[in-house]
Chain A
Amino acid sequence: MFTKHVKKHLSAYAHGELTTEEAERVAGHLRACANCRAEFDQIKLGVRLAECLPSVSAPERLWEGIESALVREQSHSKQRGSQAPSHEPARARSERLFRSEKIFGARGFPSRRRSLAAFALACLALAACGALLFMRASQPSWQVARLEGAPRIDSDQIGDRGRLAVGEWLETDAASRAEIAVANIGQVEVDPNTRVRLVATRVNEHRLELARGTLHARIWAPPRLFFVNTPSAVAADLGCAYTLEVDDAGRGLLHVTAGYVALEDGARESVVPAGAACLTKPGAGPGTPFFEDAPDAYVAALARYDFAGDRAALDTLLDGARTRDTLTLWHLLSRANNTDRARVYERLAAIAPPPEGVTREGVLRLDRTMLDAWKDRLESDWTDESFPAVRRAWRKLFE
């Protein structure tokens, strides 16, 4: 052992992690090998430096947040265990409350006249409850399953299952997760610290609002049936799976894992295929999509170009573009000013020449038909799918 250099054992040697025999051999080698000795000198300096890091005390206030979350979790567990009133079915709860003496007051109604009045009141209340129950039952809602912790719908903790009606908010805290059944077309998993509202559910539109947090959507319906509103863009499903995040400032990040998603804000649209991502920002709308395997410098340049008006960043975007980055360049065509658009065209044409019938002049004046024709040609480089043409046909069928 250790007839060769011992560099890879030097940290373990310094930390006393080697057996006695191994340590002796390393020591012997170090005496004979100046190269490994120099390396060990470096390792020892690294160890001494790391030992300088002082431990830090956690702030006292930390426990308060943990304790309140624990209280919520424990009360939730108890309620589930004991079938507490708040988890009774709505009808049973209403009936129980209706039967309660408190509705009539503690003293009751001694006279016949009062009894009649009480009977009339009871009928009215019963009718009102019935109407409320009917309205609630007839209001469209989605099923919600608790995955972890204590998710809430409009401030009420749900049991293992609950219903999210139109207009209601589903909220998770740091220890909660939930899953929403999106009508009969898919599922949405809601991560901790997320606030999401059911905006609409009907035959031709199912729509959520994501105010903050993270959701993972899997949709198996024709395109443009499922939408998620965020503070800076609307995510329109084109048949896909994706993760959407919104931070406290209302900025969003879309990450597509299968199929396509369109991010829209007015006339501005970004089409994001699997493997790509797109940032959104309030006031600016969706940024330009990029593939997630693009270098950090490339993505940073794109963010500067999109959101900070840094036109110099275009140099990085053009010089660093790979074949797949035609996704980014194609989107930039309709976002750049005239001067920049010509540069983007030249670079895009150099990577993937436009198909027959698509001219430089047409692209520079943003002829929609030509841009779409070029995009159709480029899409085979944007997706790993075997049959992008079939997917395009599927989408067009429903557009």
Chain B
Amino acid sequence: MESYAAMGEGEARETVIEACRRGDRDAFRLLFEKHKDRVYSIALYFFGGDEATACDVTQAVFLKLFTRIAQFQGESEFATWLYRLTTNACVDELRRRRRFLQFGEGMEVREPRDKPSHDEALARAEAAGEVKRAVAMLRPKLRVVMLLKYFEELSYEEIAAVVGCSKGTVASRLNRGHKILARKLGHLRPSLMRAEQEG
């Protein structure tokens, strides 16, 4: 483990991935620890705060990642590959669940358990709950690009590679997502502005 710490990030990642290909369990664990929160966050917000589904999706993503890592030849960025697995797993699970939603069990939007606040402005913390609900109501295509942008901080080009569309489509989906959030949550504007001025 110390040897990874001494390397540059890119080199360490390559070394860890290579160790994973050889079936090194410690390397698997390192890769998991490095990416689990972001994969889990995407799944959690994608499914409106449903923790059990987020856990299932996260496990499925990492199992698929570890069982297929030999196929990862580095043609694309590792992160692109990982987030493609994540978004595909979310969309697949959504398709599966949606078919059973007809029994009248609509997706319940729940509050995820947040990490302890790191000096978030009060207004932002208050807004977070409403934003979560609004994001959960976005169409899946819009939801995915919003989550990739705001959790992974991916560039438009990277999002396009993950989702398999053009940069223009990413821009268009983000535009629509932003406008929907602004329309639904316009009442939060004053408190956000106050928080920004005070911050």
Contacts and interface: CB of A to CB of B under 8 A. Distances in A.
B109 interface: no
Interface in A81-108: none
SS of B interface (majority): helix
B18 to A, nearest CB: 17
Given A62-B36, A174-B63, A175-B60, 5 more contacts: A15-B174, A42-B178, A42-B182, A56-B40, A66-B59
26 contacts: A8-B171, A12-B174, A15-B156, A43-B179, A45-B181, A46-B180, A49-B134, A50-B149, A52-B127, A53-B135, A55-B41, A55-B115, A56-B37, A56-B112, A57-B40, A58-B55, A58-B58, A61-B55, A62-B32, A62-B55, A66-B62, A67-B29, A174-B63, A253-B100, A279-B103, A300-B102
Contacts of B149: 15, 50
A303 B102 contact: yes
A225 B4 CA distance: 59
B163 interface: no
Given A9-B171, A46-B177, A303 B38 contact: no
Given A56-B114, A70-B63, A253-B99, A45 B40 contact: no
Nearest to B172: A8
A128 interface: no
B85 interface: no
A281 B105 CA distance: 13
A389 interface: no
B76 interface: no
A54 B113 CA distance: 10
Contacts of B63: 66, 69-70, 174-175
Given A43-B179, A70-B25, A299-B102, A49 B192 contact: yes
Interface string B6-41: 000000000000000001010011001000111111
Contacts of B102: 279, 299-300, 302-303
Contact of A11 (B99, B112, B128, B175): B175
Nearest to B186: A45
Contacts of B166: none
Contacts, number: 173
Contacts of A192: 60
A161 B10 CA distance: 40
Interface of B: 23, 25, 28-29, 32, 36-41, 44-45, 51, 55-56, 58-60, 62-64, 66-67, 96, 99-100, 102-104, 112-115, 117, 120, 124-125, 127-128, 131-132, 134-135, 146, 149-151, 155-156, 167, 171-172, 174-175, 177-183, 185-186, 188-189, 192, 196
Contacts of A251: 100, 103
Given A54-B115, A74-B23, A43 B182 contact: yes
B129 to A, nearest CB: 9
B100 A247 contact: yes
Nearest to A65: B59
B54 to A, nearest CB: 8
A373 B63 CA distance: 53
Contact of A174 (B60, B146, B155): B60
Q: Which residue, of A46, A73, A149, A277, has the highest number of chain B Cβ atoms within 10 A? A: A46
A251 B55 CA distance: 22
Contacts of A307: 103-104
Contacts of A48: 192, 196
A42 B25 contact: no
A148 interface: yes
A308 interface: yes
Q: On chain A, which size bracket covers the interface?
A: 35 or more
Contact of A52 (B28, B131, B178): B131
Nearest to A9: B171
A91 B156 CA distance: 60
Nearest to B180: A46
Interface in A19-56: 39, 42-43, 45-56
A10 interface: yes
B156 A17 contact: yes
B58 A62 contact: yes
A304 interface: yes
Interface in A341-398: none
B66 A70 contact: yes
Contacts of A15: 149, 156, 174
Closest 5 CB pairs of A and B: A46-B178, A58-B40, A45-B182, A58-B36, A11-B174
A43 B55 contact: no
Interface core residue of B64, B117, B167 (most chain A CB under 10 Å): B64
From B32, B63, B115, B125, name the one whose CB has the most chain A CB atoms within 10 angstroms: B63
A179 interface: no
Given A15-B149, A255-B99, A277-B99, A49 B36 contact: no
B103 A303 contact: yes
B56 to A, nearest CB: 8
Contacts of A69: 59, 63
Interface in A295-334: 299-300, 302-304, 307-308
Given A11-B174, A247-B100, A251-B100, A56 B182 contact: no
